[in-house]
Amino acid sequence: METATLTPIVQRGLRARERGGPFVPGEGRTVIEMADLSVYYGDFRAVRDISLKVEEHLITAFIGPSGCGKTTVLRCLNRMNDLIEIARVEGRVSYHGVDLYGKGIDPVEVRRRIGMVFQKPNPFPKSIYDNVSFGPKIAGIEGDMDEIVELSLRKAALWDEVKDRLKESGMSLSGGQQQRLCIARCIAVQPDVILMDEPCSALDPIATARIEDLMQELKNDYSIVIVTHNMQQAARVSDMTAFFTAEVAESGDRRTGVLVEYDTTEKIFTNPSEEGTENYVTGRFG
């Protein structure tokens, strides 16, 4: 596929992306691996037979049309679907080789190691300081709490903006600042992986750019998986991209999410292997 066939907005995203140099997928350490993952809500199979690997210190993007199961798959990675009574997971999701759904695995500990940032900023109705310190206190993390708070806010590129306001409510911050506060809150419990479910969809372009720049910095310390509907954003920030779509389910009246293609972002957006991927990234459907 010629780059010229891409929509102008995606072309700009690819041109804007800055890498430290080319990488070869498969050379990094696998952090999370999904094998034949299926998720059911009651009798309905929402996603079917998903298999892919998330590599260390990369940003992996999940893209695809609405209803294709991107967020459902993302929520499996830290067992957030456990909170839905009718949800059931089949297949395997392993973290550093450990089955996350195996017997004796504590989902609370899973969510500490694999943190999540949601679509809409959701700071606690507490002070900025307490928003960040709450998780480490609950998790029993030892150390100087002031240092933990400052380091987390620095990593979230928020410290300089709030260092004199730590006793103020987190709700008093702007939308973009609130989202970075939520990222700091996630970082404070010392995760290994950060999941982001459309973290910029509620933000203006300036705040979005700050979050995207922050993601590039964070991947030096964390592995990141992001769900996004923003094609330019996926082209701009991610190293690997998984394209999902929805097929007619066995019942015939609903649609089941499937993984169409998973490869480097450069290949997905310029030379995909599947026609469906090409149609989506060029704007022919979706």
Average pLDDT rounded to a whole number, residues 115-121: 93
pLDDT at 252: 60
pLDDT exceeds 70 at position 146: yes
pLDDT exceeds 80 at position 140: yes
Model confidence pLDDT, tens digit, residues 164-190: 999 999 999 999 999 999 999 999 999
pLDDT at 81: 92
pLDDT exceeds 90 at position 226: yes
∠ CA 177-179-183, nearest 5°, is 110
Contact indicator for 125, 169 with CB cutoff of 8 Å: yes
Contact indicator for 271, 254 with CB cutoff of 8 Å: no
Give the residue, 204 or 18, on which the prediction is more confident.
204
Average pLDDT rounded to a whole number, residues 55-67: 94
Model confidence pLDDT, tens digit, residues 82-103: 999 999 999 999 999 999 999 9
Tokens of 190: 């010392």
Give the SS3 label for residue 16. helix
pLDDT exceeds 60 at position 15: no
Contact indicator for 273, 261 with CB cutoff of 8 Å: yes
Model confidence pLDDT, tens digit, residues 246-285: 987 666 667 899 999 999 999 999 999 999 999 999 887 6
pLDDT at 282: 86
pLDDT at 247: 85
Order the strands of the 44-55 sheet from edge to edge.
98-99, 87-95, 30-41, 44-55, 255-264, 240-248, 59-63, 223-227, 193-197, 114-117
pLDDT exceeds 70 at position 2: no
pLDDT exceeds 60 at position 33: yes
Across the chain, mean pLDDT equals: 89
In order of start, what are the domains of the chain with their CATH numbers?
Answer: 3-122+192-281 (3.40.50.300)
Residue 23's CB is within 10 A of a number of other CB atoms, namely 15
Helix (H) / strand (E) element for 174: namely none
pLDDT exceeds 60 at position 114: yes
pLDDT at 255: 83
| Residue 3 C-beta-side C-alpha neighbours within 13 Å | 10
Average pLDDT rounded to a whole number, residues 209-230: 94
Q: Quick one: pLDDT band at residue 150, thresholds 50, 70, 90?
A: very high
pLDDT at 77: 97
pLDDT at 26: 55
Task: Say what the pTM is.
Answer: 0.88
pLDDT exceeds 90 at position 286: no
Distance of alpha carbon 86 from alpha carbon 107, whole angstroms = 17
Helix (H) / strand (E) element for 9: namely helix 8-16
Average pLDDT rounded to a whole number, residues 226-239: 93
Contact indicator for 225, 33 with CB cutoff of 8 Å: no
Average pLDDT rounded to a whole number, residues 12-36: 65
